[in-house]
Structure 1
Amino acid sequence: MSIVVDQDGVEDVVTRARLEVRTGAAWAAWEVATAAHADLAAPVAARQERGGVQGGLGERVLPVVWACVAPGERPGYPAVLETFLVRHEERLKRLFSQYGTGSAGAVDAEPGRCELYASPVSLMVLERLTGSGSRVRLAGHWKNEDLDQSWLKDAATAWDVTP
């Protein structure tokens, strides 16, 4: 794996992750999230991000999430994500019924506030929010990539953690 550095010579882990997300474990994790998202969001979702990560919210957020997964953990991350989805299935169902696309919470929210839940990458964000170390890395990368801060804050609040 090559090291990607920014103009100041500092390693840019998000850019490196962006190069990796369409292969191997990152792609397998995306497929796990996509399948689970279809099941969890289907009762309320009028639209879902399908057909891969390119062009949607996932294309912007997945590299940030992937940068928070340590290189040594990446090969096993799809299994970690599956375990998380099974362990938290009921909680995730409640979350999507409250905040998923088409839900009362999404309809009543300011425009864009619940947009993260329209994408399978939301499940990977929630998984990363469960660990304090990964939560701190996620918040830092999120801010550096200039993603909408309300998405992460709202997800953390709904998941009952501090970003």
Structure 2
Amino acid sequence: MNPAGEGLQQLDAISVLNAKTTLVQLLVRAGVHPGDAGELIGLVEAGTLAVAHTRIGGHGGVAPTEKGELYASGWLDGARAVADELGAVAERALRDAVGADASADALDARPPAGRMELERAKVAVLPLYLSFTAVSDLDPEVSEQVLTAVLGTLTTRQRTGYAGQLTRFADDHRVRLERMYAEYGPGSTIAIHGRYSLLHSPTSIAVLERLLTEPTALREEWDAAELPPAWLEGLTTAWGTPA
């Protein structure tokens, strides 16, 4: 019980909608397209549900034993049922957020990258890049073209979790990335223009992750965007693996 003598406080559906509508309107006033604002809010909702699903699933594996085996068995069955339903709700919320249809493969397709997907990718790569090196002066338009090619290798589902995927990649390879940017990035003796140009762009982390994970798909998107093949070769050389 809380100090006011009330039970657990929960928002009703109308109050939740009011908060969402208020946030959308504030974002629109700041210049964000209503559809983009709704997509971002929807992704936050879907992510919150996914986190709750993971937590409930984790706790569901340990049942209380003091009330007997039959009780514990029923407790586990109930926990699994709740977790399964919450997972389904999270999946539906994700589909709604990205505008995917109800088909089973909608989230696993690779449509052209949308404006908000591109913006989210920009927000994801910059702090990771700055954790290794300094801001450089590579043309922002070129960076957008590079990120569009990168996102073209990802499904809609993968794009929604791409920030986390990039962060894990950076954490797993931190020492090697530090060495690479020190030798080839801003502040090094390597010129910004040339085969190592990508090392002067925040997009380089995204390109490298895709180059190591989906090299064929990346090269296809790269060629379709008519980006310089030498940039991929330079990044591969800087990383220290055969091209």
Normalized against structure 1, the TM-score is what?
A: 0.72
1:116 has 2:201 as partner: no
- What's the offset of the Cα at 1:48? 4.5
Match of 2:169 in 1: 84
SS in 2 for 1:72: helix
- Hey, what's the Cα distance between the residues in 2 that align with 1:89 and 1:56? 27
Q: Retained in 1: the 8 A contact 2:132–2:178?
A: yes
Largest Rg, 1 or 2: 2
Q: Retained in 2: the 8 A contact 1:29–1:81?
A: no
Q: Retained in 1: the 8 A contact 2:143–2:201?
A: yes
Aligned-residue identity in percent? 29
Residues 90-133 of structure 1, C-alpha deviations (whole Å, 9 max, x = no match): 111111011102312x14x9x422211111111100111121xx
Normalized against structure 2, the TM-score is what?
A: 0.50
Equivalent residue for 2:212, pick from 130, 135, 144: 130
* Between structures 1 and 2, the one with greater helix share: 2
1:103 has 2:196 as partner: no
The 5 A counterparts of 1:15-94 are 16-17=112-113, 20=114, 22-24=115-117, 26-42=118-134, 47-48=136-137, 55-94=140-179
Is there any run of 5+ residues in structure 1 with no aligned partner, and where?
Answer: 3-12
SS in 1 for 2:156: coil
- Hey, what's the Cα distance between the residues in 2 that align with 1:156 and 1:68? 18
Alignment-mate amino acid for residue 126 of structure 2 = T
- What's the offset of the Cα at 1:29? 3.0
Alignment-mate amino acid for residue 210 of structure 2 = R
- Hey, what's the Cα distance between the residues in 1 that align with 2:152 and 2:242? 19
Alignment-mate amino acid for residue 116 of structure 2 = T
- Hey, what's the Cα distance between the residues in 2 that align with 1:115 and 1:94? 16
Match of 2:220 in 1: 140
Match of 2:61 in 1: none
Match of 2:60 in 1: none
- Hey, what's the Cα distance between the residues in 2 that align with 1:114 and 1:157? 9
Give the superposed CA RMSD. 2.5
Structure 1 stretches (4+) deviating beyond 4 angstroms?
A: none
Equivalent residue for 1:150, pick from 230, 235, 240: 230
SS in 2 for 1:56: helix
